[in-house]
Structure 1
Amino acid sequence: MTTFNGLIVLLARVLLSAIFIWSGWGKVADIGGTAAYIASSGLPTILAWPSAFFELIVGLFVLIGFQTKWAALALAFFSFVTAFLFHTGFADPMQQINFFKNLAMTGGFLMLYAYPHNHYSIEAVWTEED
């Protein structure tokens, strides 16, 4: 991988992970609001804490390049499922945007799953041979 491509993949990881780190932190900070939003979709509120920590921790994994392939696959699945669970109210234009945003993120994470290796990651540092 060229240095330029490595930097592009690093930028992609930063941009893809940012929304999950930010959202996960926001869910932790307002777990009551998170639980209410989850309940409004007919799901159990017990999912509030796991979803908050999942987004935060797995988002951080993608950011630093730790277990990138599996973190990307997990976030692809999460993005796809949440598009259909939370954003199908197409009468609201914002829900349409959020639905397709989630599908776009799914595509980005699937690409990262297919090409997870990068010079600029924790994995690269740990696997360097002297």
Structure 2
Amino acid sequence: MSNTTNANSALHTQPDSIGASGAIALAGRILLAAIFLLSGISKIANPAGMIGYIESVGLPLPQLALIAAIVVEVGGSLLLILGYRTRPVALIMALFSVVTALAFHNHLGDQNQFIHFFKNIAIAGGLLQVVAFGGGRLSLDARRKA
């Protein structure tokens, strides 16, 4: 048996791995949420600038779009960190990430926009993992089921 197989086997059989996987899921949720929370706070701090940015890409109802973005980013990140309604929240945030990539970072010839586009797509991928596997043991969802 190889060292990798031994390590994987040990990870899945030790009682501590249950607690470790819960802590890893929590850390993952926090890390995914951090970018949304900071982005939402920056929108609250500079609503006029964000409305101008939303208008510059031609989206309708920029004030409403700003409010929706703040709700998804701040509200969603807090719910994700807490692990409350984790799967539907992560799905909404994944869709939001794809929509913002398409609406705001679609000039892929610009290297900066290219990076932002695929950053959003990668974040959506991470969030879909949360949709698939849930919030883990250290989540309010897990407490509700217990």
Q: Normalised by the size of structure 2, how large is the TM-score?
A: 0.82
1:16 is matched with which residue: 32, 38, 61? 32
Residue 71 in 1 paired to residue 71 in 2?
A: no
- Indicate the RMSD between aligned Cα atoms, in angstroms: 1.3
Which residue of the partner structure matches residue 49 of structure 1?
67
Matched residue count: 128
1:43 deviates by 0.6
Which residue of the partner structure matches residue 134 of structure 2?
116
Aligned AA (1:7): A
Q: 1:26 to 1:94 in 2, by over 3 A?
A: same
CA offsets 1:13-70 (integer angstroms, 9 cap, x no match): 0000011111111111111111011111101212112211221101111011010000
Aligned AA (1:17): A
1:9 deviates by 0.8
Q: Which range is displaced more, 9-18 or 119-128?
A: 119-128
Ranges in structure 1 where 5+ consecutive residues have no aligned partner:
none
1:80 deviates by 0.9
Q: Secondary structure at the match of 1:89?
A: coil
Q: Contact 1:65–1:122 (CA<8 Å) still a contact in 2?
A: yes
Which residue of the partner structure matches residue 84 of structure 1?
102
- Once residues 135 and 126 of structure 2 are traced to their aligned partners in structure 1, the CA distance between those partners, rounded to angstroms, is 15
Q: Which range is displaced more, 49-58 or 98-107?
A: 49-58
Q: Contact 2:80–2:86 (CA<8 Å) still a contact in 1?
A: yes
Q: Normalised by the size of structure 1, how large is the TM-score?
A: 0.92
1:125 deviates by 2.8
Q: Contact 2:72–2:93 (CA<8 Å) still a contact in 1?
A: no
- Once residues 28 and 131 of structure 2 are traced to their aligned partners in structure 1, the CA distance between those partners, rounded to angstroms, is 12
Ranges in structure 2 where 5+ consecutive residues have no aligned partner:
1-16
1:100 deviates by 0.4
